[in-house]
Amino acid sequence: MPIITIEQAGQYDGQEVTLRGWLYNQRESGKLLFPIFRDGTGIMQGVCSLKEQPAAFEALRGLTQESSVIVTGKIRAEQRAPGGFEIGVSAVEVLQRVSESQPYPIQLKEHGVDFLLNQRHLWIRSPRQAAILRIRAEAIRAAREFMDGQGYTLTDAPIFTPAACEGTTTLFEVQYIDDEKAYLTQSGQLYVEATAMALGKVYAFGPTFRAEKSKTRRHLTEFWMLEPEAAYADLGDMMELGEGLVSHVVQSVLKNRTRELEALKRDTTKLATVKAPFPRISYDEAIAVLQKSGNPAKHGDDFGGDEETILSSQYDRPLIVHRYPAAIKAFYMQPDPQRPDLALGFDMLAPEGYGEIIGGGQRIHDYDLLVKRLREHNLPEESFQWYLDLRRYGSVPHAGFGLGLERTVAWICGTEHIREVIPFPRMIYRVYP
């Protein structure tokens, strides 16, 4: 008897197979049972009759939700069943029966989101959450495929760091060995700048941490970032790499995770248009667009969620905004030679109000200017000596960016909140489970 997954059922039409999974739900109708099984790859409806399969019927009757089961039966095409196939159950082995006195806490009805977040370890079993996690995995796979294909070498950055990369207000401090202090990384950027000088084109992909006090649908305190960095590269090279990367990720999910997008009822026509090149406007142009739409933004302001939504809603694909005022950007941004008050940086804003998915640009390669900026930002120079070495020994123009994985996946999935797209979200008031 072949052991198969629900995803493979279509290849076994008319054959006896074994499925290993859990009871998701069951309808009982006299001498017929209609169980629904799930196995992590999908859900499948079954039919079991008392007359034909009395032993299987007895095993299934009254069986509690989420009990683990191994089911044998014949696969047959059934138009009305989810997935197009059902299983005529002939044998059932119950591995663990969920007790009636302590039933599975998540019923097949609407629950409040706080309740579900407290049950996150179980909530991920629901078909919608599992579909999201599969899309996340495909996005990661496609992103790495793209970077590797462009000749970038994976060089991961450390998580314990001696200093800030993205401003000191969101640093998580940890006590390192003995009395030494360290911080959880906010970005691997400074380290990929070093590996770029060693290997040319590199990227890091890993978790990053920010003590974000904001309670928004776009902020996590622990999130994953993909960070390319290239020697002898400029702002233009990175805008091009970013749009190529995002196009490839979206098109790969569309192609390889069709069923999951369907399960999420995602309007895929909004993703189909996501192909490079993306529209590009300067920060100054963005301010003009905002003012025209009645937004009070003025030169020198940073954009919040509202501004990003107004800007991105004018386009059917992500929007690149470049050359922000240096004053509102990080210490390492290379100034524009034409307008030194502007930074050679860019943000990529996702459509449909999902906000900034990429931030990046060209880095300062001049030693003296970098030291000046460290001082202006009150950053501890001694912690940055190794970083300054990159400007002492063979400094070259270089550039990179960081793609926020969860923001990107939330947009692709069309979820309301970013917390659904990471297996175990960490947010301002949540570190459980």
Name the site residues for Mg ion (rule: CB under 5 A): 359
With residue 123 as reference, give the H or E element that holds it: helix 120-123
Tell me how far, at minimum, the Cβ of 429 lies from Mg ion, in Å. 23
Provide the β-strand partners of residue 201.
230
User: From edge to edge, which strands make up the β-sheet containing 345-350?
Assistant: 153-154, 201-209, 222-231, 398-404, 355-362, 345-350, 319-322, 280-282
Task: Report the C-alpha gap between 400 and 408 in whole angstroms.
Answer: 18
Q: Which is nearer to Mg ion, 41 or 312 (CB)?
A: 312
CB of 170 to ligand 4AD, least distance (A): 8
Shortest Å distance, C-beta 357 to ligand 4AD? 5
Query: Which of Mg ion, ligand 4AD, none has residue 354 at its interface (CB below 5 to 8 Å by kind)?
Result: none
Q: How far is the CB of 203 from ligand 4AD (least distance, A)?
A: 9
82 by DSSP, 3-state: which?
helix
Q: Using the minimum distance from each CB to ligand 4AD, give the nearer residue, 106 or 379.
A: 379
Tell me which residue has its CB nearest to Mg ion.
359
Nearest to 18 by CA among 58, 67, 61, 56: 56
Q: Alpha-carbon distance 384 to 390, whole Å?
A: 10
Q: What is the DSSP string of 249-293?
A: HHHHHHHH-HHHHHHTT--THHHHT--SSPPEEEHHHHHHHHHHT
Q: How far apart are CA 353 and CA 418, in angstroms?
A: 12
DSSP-derived secondary structure letter, 152: P
- Is the CB of residue 356 less than 8 Å from the CB of residue 324? no
Q: Closer CB to Mg ion, residue 66 or residue 166?
A: 166
Residue linked to tokens 């400074």: 190
Q: How far is the CB of 248 from ligand 4AD (least distance, A)?
A: 17
Which CB atom, from 123 or from 332, has the smaller least distance to ligand 4AD?
332
Nearer to Mg ion among residue 35 and residue 359 (C-beta): 359
Q: Minimal distance in Å, beta carbon 383 to Mg ion?
A: 22
Q: Which is nearer to ligand 4AD, 261 or 405 (CB)?
A: 405
Q: Closest separation between CB of residue 207 and ligand 4AD, Å?
A: 11
401 binds, among Mg ion, ligand 4AD, none (CB under 5 to 8 A by kind): ligand 4AD
- d(C-alpha 197, C-alpha 391), whole Å: 10
For residue 225, the partner it binds in ligand 4AD, Mg ion, none, with Cβ less than 5 to 8 A by kind, is ligand 4AD
Select from Mg ion, ligand 4AD, none the partner in contact with residue 400, using the beta carbon and a kind-dependent cut-off of 5 to 8 Å: ligand 4AD
Given a contact cutoff of 8 angstroms between Cβ atoms, the answer to whether 89 and 69 are in contact is no
- The partner in contact with residue 363, picked from ligand 4AD, Mg ion, none with C-beta cut-offs of 5 to 8 angstroms by kind, is none
Question: With CB cut-offs between 5 and 8 Å by kind, which of ligand 4AD, Mg ion, none does residue 220 bind?
Answer: ligand 4AD
Q: How far is the CB of 402 from ligand 4AD (least distance, A)?
A: 3
CA distances from 156 to 27, 62, 159, 166, 176 (A): 50, 51, 9, 18, 21
Phi then psi for residue 104, to 5 deg, are: -55, 125
Q: Give whichever of 88 and 325 is closer to ligand 4AD, judged by the CB atom.
A: 325
Of 95 and 396, CB closest to ligand 4AD: 396
Of 53 and 189, which has the nearer Cβ to ligand 4AD? 189
- Indicate which of Mg ion, ligand 4AD, none lies near residue 360 (CB less than 5 to 8 Å, by partner kind): ligand 4AD
Q: Which does 406 bind (CB under 5 to 8 A by kind): Mg ion, ligand 4AD, none?
A: ligand 4AD
The structure tokens 């990384």 sit at 185
Residue spans of alpha helices (H) in 315-419: 367-376, 385-392, 405-413
Ranges of beta strands (E only) in 193-260 are 201-209, 222-231
Q: Which residues contact 97 (CB under 8 A, 6 or more apart)?
A: 63, 64, 67
Minimum CB distance to ligand 4AD, residue 310 (Å): 18
Query: In this complex, which beta carbon is closest to ligand 4AD, that of residue 57 or of residue 346?
Result: 346
Nearest distance, CB of residue 372 and Mg ion, angstroms: 22
Q: Which residues contact ligand 4AD (rule: CB under 6 A)?
A: 165-166, 187, 189, 210, 212, 219-220, 223, 225, 227, 356-360, 400-402, 404, 406-407
